[in-house]
Amino acid sequence: MNRPEVGTGMWDVREHLYYVPRRAGPLKEFCVCKVFVRGYFKGRYISIDVSDGKTPRRYALTEIGKRLFFTAREAALYAKQLSDEEDLVLLRFREPPVRRTWEKFLQEGIMTDDM
């Protein structure tokens, strides 16, 4: 598999917990974030080191297209899959559905390079 060049912008899906006033526990959502390839790390396997400037994360090269994506639309489709699975669990407990802040990336014609 070809390695993306250092500095390449990619898209990541992250779990985020947030609080609502007058609620005891946090709620979960999945966020689509733009990250940049910072370098490569070689340990037991070769992984890609990406960062959004706040939290460095490492992904195996084999996870490109599965958990790390070249386009925001692909990442949003993965976030949709995770949100739908989480909604099935929440439905049993009569909880509100997961927030879908990534839906804007599924619209046709949206420019994601500036985000």
Per-residue pLDDT 10s for the chain (115 aa) are 578 888 889 999 999 999 999 988 899 999 999 988 888 888 656 678 888 777 788 888 889 999 999 999 999 999 999 999 999 988 888 888 899 999 999 987 665 655 5
> So what's the pLDDT on residue 16?
92
Tokens, residue 87: 């909604």
What percent of the residues of the chain are helix, what percent strand, and what percent coil, each to the nearest 5? 25, 35, 40
Sorted by sequence, the CB contacts under 8 Å of residue 112 that are 6+ apart come out as 11, 34, 71, 72, 73, 105
